[in-house]
Structure 1
Amino acid sequence: MQVSFACSDQDGGRGGLRPPGNGGHSKQNATSANTASQARARFRTVALIARSLGSFTNRYHHNLKESTAKLTGMKYRNLGKSGLRVSCLGLGTWVTFGGQISDEVAEQLMTIAYENGVNLFDTAEVYAGGKAEIILGNIIKKKCWRRSSLVITTKLYWGGKAETERGLNRKHIIEGLRSSLQRMQLEYVDVVFANRPDSNTPMEEIVRAMTHVINQGMSMYWGTSRWSAMEIMEAYSVARQFNLIPPVCEQAEYNFFQRDKVETQLPELYHKIGVGVVSWSPLACGIITGKYENGIPECSRASMKPYAWLKEKIVSDDGRKQQAKLKELTTISEKLGCTLPQLAIAWCLRNEGVSSVLLGTSSPIQLAENLRAMEVIPKMTAGIVTEIDQVLGNRPHSKKDFHQAH
């Protein structure tokens, strides 16, 4: 913190000096001494204030709210190598908003997240046919949260049934984002993601369209979702070639059982071109919670007809092997004094390239529990990570091991 001040006497003289005359030397000396004393007093006061403010201003000036950061322990990271600060944990609206839960529970989830320092809220035009964006916007409006304190992200690709209502062509990127903003009652989003690559649209058209919506103030940044490292690099190269805006991050699945892309492909992009990761599904669609240890519970996601693929995955041979590994990992989590989901989330955050981990839950109690994963991050020592790797047995080989936060 910088504090500046100026000291001058009422006569506007430089340094308080007056021309001698009429035997005024004694008065001049007394006045100068008095002025100097007052200046020193003001300096001491300003210095004390500066020191007291500096003890927390430098540390927390990026955070959502100073009090929130102190009370919750939420930490903030740059989104990739951009200057945008996002909470290490974000709230995703996939499945839940407009799907499994009521609007009231959705509001509870957002409130719990926000009050615990979360500033990143992610949605997509395709979630619940656009209803997720509507609910998200209604909650923001109702709670009267400062728009500047929120980082709202959405994804484009599937906007409707018509041929022109999907894809990453210029028409759909512009029209789709306008529709999303209308549903959320917002003037802009902070990040718009291209939700899967589009082989029907030239990369230059995608990058130009994303640059256009940013220049028009409809979004602050753009990113990719489920793109390969090669596709991301192509977008970056096109942006540099034509003086356009490159993507700042990639949304990718990352958890105990899905590691290769985030740990081997994306770190190189992070270090070379500054593309970070916003990861999703840290609990592998609920598999890592341990609730499928003894089968498929009736009210679980895997028991629902649209998620037959998840059920098949759980009951498969690989699924049973995963459950056995989770039992061993539970021993590690108990040793650290945390739950298995908290261990899984903290494990994701140990990766330096991960800007934020999106949580997806339909239970306020579960969300509050998972947010406490922040407390486990300092316990993720090299020894603990090695123990986890030995249990999982799936550590991908890379040219250079990524940095592990301690």
Structure 2
Amino acid sequence: MEYRYLGNSGFKISEITYGNWLTHGSQVENDTATECVRAALDNGITTFDTADVYANTVAESVLGEALKGERRQSLEIFTKVFGPTGPKGHNDVGLSRKHILESIDGSLERLQTGYVDLYQAHRFDYETPLEETMQAFADLVRQGKVLYVGVSEWTAEQLRAGHALAKDLGFQLISNQPQYSALWRVIEEEVVPTSKELGISQIVWSPIAQGVLTGKYKPGGELPSGSRAADDKGGADMIKRYMRDEVLERVQKLQPIAEELDLSLAQLAVAWVLQNDNVAAAIIGASRPEQVAENVKASGVTIPAELLTRIDDVLGDIVERDPAKTNDSSPKTREA
């Protein structure tokens, strides 16, 4: 496993990060979830990403229990705040001071830790003054409950405004967590250049495009049992935009490139996002421990420039590049 600095800070994280969205407390049983976490630790992953909204707080509890007994200083634990939690009342969502300060205490209790290494604004809150949000984060940093602050799916303009306020308040905004894969490149035109200028790293989710880039979905074929596309608890909705024959056919054509590098298609997909020098980590999920062991082999891989060009040529116009898609990620109202 290799490690990278997060943003303009002295904080290092494992470039393969374990995330438990759509798995812990939802897709897989707790015992299997714990086995996946153990597999992550055994393979050198020290960074774990979750959110209070995942499985309505249950994912945090499962992760906290799975990490119980580990040396806290050897781990980097990330969580997020924004989404509706608890009974989903009118103050159980968003980035108000009330919701942030109450949410961190709940997250710390569930994660069984006195602090989180990175606390992230899960989306941008259009209904709360940004000054209020950033002041709440600044207070948590000073209280020692949060070591570093990041965001998720913010636009270039939002990153710039948040970064300026953080600087004024005496702390750093060091990370953004966007969706990014060989099929989904909407951050490249605006978010990445702005982030490089500001000293913000990307921690990217869905590097294998919800499993599509593993090649397990064949054009015209049946959905594999237990796969994300067959999941009626939310997974199928996320993956459906890729479940077109024209996409699946192009993915199959990546196989010779993966073979040249002695990689699986999944490993190629994870390694591909790590070629971007603004990416500090790729988040992987898992429903089986073996998936963790496979995906960590993408760490430290260098893909030659000529093969990166071939990947672009194979995928062609099925790649989504529209930077406006980032703006679509955050709800314009924060109704629970």
SS at match of 1:260: coil
Is residue 384 from structure 1 mapped to residue 310 from structure 2 by the alignment?
A: no
* Residue 209 (structure 1) aligns with: 136
Is residue 198 from structure 1 mapped to residue 121 from structure 2 by the alignment?
A: no
Amino acid corresponding to residue 175 of structure 2 in structure 1? C
Unaligned runs of 5+ in 1: 1-73, 399-406
* Residue 334 (structure 1) aligns with: 259
Separation in 1, partners of 2:249, 2:312? 14
SS at match of 1:205: helix
Kept after mapping to 1: 8 A contact 2:135/2:169: no
Instruction: Tell me which protein shows more helix as a share of its residues.
Output: 1
Percent of aligned positions with the same letter in both sequences? 36
Amino acid corresponding to residue 329 of structure 1 in structure 2? L
Match of residue 365, structure 1, among 278, 290, 305: 290
Match of residue 136, structure 1, among 57, 63, 72: 63
Q: How does 1:181-196 map to 2 (within 5 A)?
A: 181-196=108-123
Q: How does 1:27-38 map to 2 (within 5 A)?
A: none
TM-score (ref. length: structure 2):
0.90
TM-score (ref. length: structure 1):
0.75
Instruction: Quickly say closer, same or farther: Cα 1:312–1:191, change in 2 above 3 A.
Output: closer
Match of residue 45, structure 2, among 88, 94, 118: 118
Question: Which has more radius of gyration?
Answer: 1
Deviations 1:278-312 (A, max 9, x none): 00101111111122212322322222323442464
* Residue 273 (structure 1) aligns with: 198
Amino acid corresponding to residue 97 of structure 2 in structure 1? R
Separation in 2, partners of 1:232, 1:166? 21
Kept after mapping to 2: 8 A contact 1:133/1:183: yes
Separation in 2, partners of 1:168, 1:268? 26
Separation in 1, partners of 2:79, 2:307? 35
Match of residue 309, structure 1, among 234, 237, 246: 237
Q: How does 1:72-91 map to 2 (within 5 A)?
A: 74-91=1-18
Match of residue 353, structure 1, among 238, 258, 278: 278
Separation in 1, partners of 2:239, 2:151? 29
* Residue 243 (structure 1) aligns with: 169
Amino acid corresponding to residue 383 of structure 1 in structure 2? E
Separation in 1, partners of 2:142, 2:25? 31
Separation in 2, partners of 1:254, 1:397? 12
Separation in 1, partners of 2:195, 2:242? 33
Query: 1:191 deviation in Å?
Result: 0.3
Deviations 1:68-101 (A, max 9, x none): xxxxxx1110011211000110100101111111
Is residue 230 from structure 1 mapped to residue 157 from structure 2 by the alignment?
A: yes
Is residue 175 from structure 1 mapped to residue 102 from structure 2 by the alignment?
A: yes
Query: 1:313 deviation in Å?
Result: 2.5
Q: For the aligned residues, what is the CA RMSD? A: 1.7
Instruction: Quickly say closer, same or farther: Cα 1:118–1:245, change in 2 above 3 A.
Output: same
Deviations 1:192-249 (A, max 9, x none): 0001000110011111011111110111001001111111111112233x33324110
* Residue 150 (structure 1) aligns with: 75
Separation in 1, partners of 2:238, 2:141? 37
Instruction: Quickly say closer, same or farther: Cα 1:311–1:124, change in 2 above 3 A.
Output: closer
Separation in 1, partners of 2:231, 2:293? 25
Separation in 1, partners of 2:315, 2:272? 12
Separation in 1, partners of 2:195, 2:214? 30
Amino acid corresponding to residue 213 of structure 1 in structure 2? L
Separation in 2, partners of 1:389, 1:338? 18
Kept after mapping to 2: 8 A contact 1:80/1:275: yes
Deviations 1:131-173 (A, max 9, x none): 11111111221xx211000000001012231111111001110
Separation in 2, partners of 1:177, 1:254? 27
Instruction: Quickly say closer, same or farther: Cα 1:366–1:326, change in 2 above 3 A.
Output: same
* Residue 320 (structure 1) aligns with: 245
* Residue 343 (structure 1) aligns with: 268
